[in-house]
Each structure stands twice: as structure tokens, then as C-alpha cells.
């Protein structure tokens, strides 16, 4: 596994990789603090593509508060071991200056309003920051497939839109996006780098999200959407979470789900003390 830190090192390593393995590459962008959720993206990429590159970059553009960016878990040494063990070919772990040099101009991206709702409403500018960095990483690491975790469902929609915009601008097909299902622990807690910020009591409360999904799955077909949401929010509050939103979307987008309109995807964000968690779950007719 080659670890690169500068764009120059990256280009050199990519040239070598493409000349030995061809241009069928898979890219798994991450912010580090890697866990089994990331491993599932890498495993799929390794199965699908001739080589796999991972980026570890805690992108300052997507954080609303400097304190949150500073606090984001960083464990590069362990991450490198993890990536090597999982068979990744190339790692790009740059500094912000390397990704966004002073003479680099951020593109104007029309994300079609996907960046303004739900997460976007609570974290203004967050998705613009995500789209900008993913676009930049794709410029630096041309690939055939881009792997994104469904844990960040709205992010997947934003990146899908980014790929369409890039296709329109370049006239080239660009990478295929592969959405990888969320990995959960035995109690249903979605794996997330932010879980590292939780103490034992907070972790126990975080599992209240999974308990609420389990309850919703048993009753969603019998309740009006508004009653389902109100009851679920009460449960989440009782579990010790400070709710931001709970929303039922028609799966595949962000349009509101209405009864009888296929399977709903529930999207949630809430706080456990000072740690913000998001999760989503698809309810299907059994």
C-alpha cells in the first residue's frame, strides 16, 4: 500500500498503479477514524475494481463550526494499518493546503436544493463543502467507481447530483456511484466515526435510535405519517436524545412520503449531549 500526502506524490503513485493494474479504479473517500462500515465499502470496491484508493481528509469546508472540525476523531496510524489489512492499494492523506491550494478556485455548484433541506437546513453550507471536496478528489483521482455509504443518505443524493453536473460540464461519463448499505452493531447502532466521541452511557442512549426504528417498523403501516413521526420523536426524547428532525422520504429522493406511495425512508438527526448523530432506515412491506 502506498501512502501519499501531496498531489505530486499522489500523481506519481497513480501513474504507477494505472500502468500496472489499468484504469478500473475504485475510490473510497473518507474522513478517517475507520470502522467496519468503511471496510464494507472497501471490500465491495476490491471485489469490483482492479485497484482501490482511499482518501483520509477531514474536510474543513463541510464543518459549520471550527470546534467540530477540531474535535472530529483522528487516528491516522490505526487507519493506515486498517487500510493495509483491508487490501487498499493507495491512500491519499493530505493537508487542507494540498487539497485547496491558495490559487484554486471552488466551482459554482447548483445542487438543486438537495443541499438546503434536512441536514442542509441544520448545517448551512455543509453539502456545498462535501460536493466541492468530492469533486476535487475526483479530479485528483480519476476512477471508474465511487463508493459512498448509505448511512449518509442525503449525502449520497448530493454526490449523485454532483456526478450529473460533472457529466454535463465535461461531456464525459465519469464514475459510477455505488451506494453501500449501513453497517450496524449487534444492537442496531449505525457505525459512525462520531461514535468514538461517545462515552458508555451515551452509547447506550444512542442505541435508542435503533430501538425506535424497530418500533416504527412494526407500526408504520397502521399509522398516519404525522402520528408515526410524533410518536417516534417522543420515544427518541425518552431515550435521551435531543431531536433535530425526523422525516419520512419517498425512497430514492427527499420528496415527502405519503401513505400508499411505496416504502418510506426515515431520516433522523439528533444530539446526545454535544455529539450530533444521524441515521436513516428504509421500512419495507413484509
Q: Which is nearer to ligand PAF, 52 or 216 (CB)?
A: 52
CB-nearer residue toward ligand PAF: 133 or 228 = 133
Indicate the residue among 133 and 140 with the shorter CB distance to ligand PAF: 133
Cβ-contact 94, 6 below 8 angstroms:
yes
Binding site for ligand PAF (CB under 6 A): 29-31, 59, 62, 130, 133-134, 152, 155
**The one catalytic residue among 35, 38, 86, 126:** 38
Q: How far is the CB of 120 from ligand PAF (least distance, A)?
A: 13
Q: In angstroms, rounded to a whole number, what is the distance separating the alpha carbons of residues 281 and 215? A: 12
Between residues 31 and 190, which has the closer beta carbon with respect to ligand PAF? Answer: 31
CB within 8 Å of 248: residues ≥ 6 apart: 225, 228, 229, 256, 257, 264, 265, 266, 267
H helices of the chain, in order, are: 7-21, 36-48, 66-71, 76-85, 96-99, 119-122, 126-140, 153-170, 200-219, 225-238
What is the side-by-side order of every strand in the sheet holding 90-92?
A: 2-4, 90-92, 51-56, 25-30, 145-149, 176-180
Pairwise CA distance, residues 186 & 63, whole Å: 30
Least distance between ligand PAF and beta carbon 152 (Å): 5
Residue 35: active-site member: no
| Minimum distance of ligand PAF from residue 134's CB (angstroms) | 6
Smallest separation (angstroms) from ligand PAF to the CB of 201? 26
How many Å apart are CA 214 and CA 216, to the nearest integer? 6
Report, as residue numbers or ranges, the catalytic residues: 38
Amino acid at each position: 500500500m502506498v501512502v501519499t500526502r501531496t498531489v505530486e506524490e499522489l500523481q506519481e503513485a497513480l501513474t504507477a498503479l494505472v500502468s500496472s493494474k489499468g484504469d478500473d479504479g475504485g475510490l473510497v473517500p473518507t474522513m478517517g477514524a475507520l470502522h467496519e462500515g468503511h471496510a464494507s465499502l472497501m471490500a465491495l470496491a476490491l471485489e469490483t475494481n482492479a485497484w482501490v484508493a482511499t482518501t483520509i481528509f477531514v474536510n474543513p469546508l463541510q464543518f459549520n463550526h471550527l470546534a467540530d472540525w477540531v474535535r472530529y476523531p483522528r487516528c491516522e496510524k490505526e487507519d493506515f494499518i486498517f487500510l493495509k489489512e483491508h487490501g487498499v492499494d493507495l491512500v491519499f492523506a493530505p493537508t487542507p493546503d494540498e487539497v485547496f491550494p491558495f490559487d484554486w478556485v471552488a466551482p459554482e455548484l447548483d445542487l438543486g436544493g438537495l443541499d438546503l433541506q434536512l441536514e442542509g437546513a441544520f448545517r448551512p453550507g455543509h453539502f456545498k463543502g462535501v460536493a466541492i471536496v468530492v469533486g476535487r478528489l475526483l479530479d485528483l483521482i480519476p476512477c471508474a467507481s465511487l463508493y459512498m455509504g448509505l448511512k449518509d443518505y442525503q449525502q449520497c443524493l448530493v454526490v449523485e447530483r454532483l456526478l450529473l453536473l460533472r457529466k454535463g460540464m465535461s461531456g464525459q461519463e465519469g464514475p459510477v456511484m455505488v451506494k453501500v448499505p449501513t453497517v450496524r452493531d449487534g444492537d442496531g447502532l449505525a457505525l459512525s466515526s462520531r461514535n468514538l466521541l461517545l462515552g458508555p452511557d451515551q452509547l447506550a442512549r444512542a442505541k435508542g435510535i435503533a430501538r425506535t426504528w424497530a418500533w416504527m417498523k412494526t407500526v408504520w403501516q397502521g399509522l398516519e405519517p404525522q402520528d408515526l413521526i410524533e410518536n417516534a420523536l417522543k420515544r427518541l426524547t425518552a431515550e435521551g436524545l435531543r431531536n433535530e428532525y425526523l422525516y419520512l422520504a419517498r425512497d430514492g429522493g427527499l420528496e415527502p412520503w405519503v401513505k400508499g406511495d411505496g416504502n418510506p425512508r426515515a431520516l433522523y438527526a439528533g444530539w446526545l449531549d454535544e455529539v450530533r448523530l444521524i441515521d436513516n432506515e428504509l421500512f419495507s412491506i413484509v
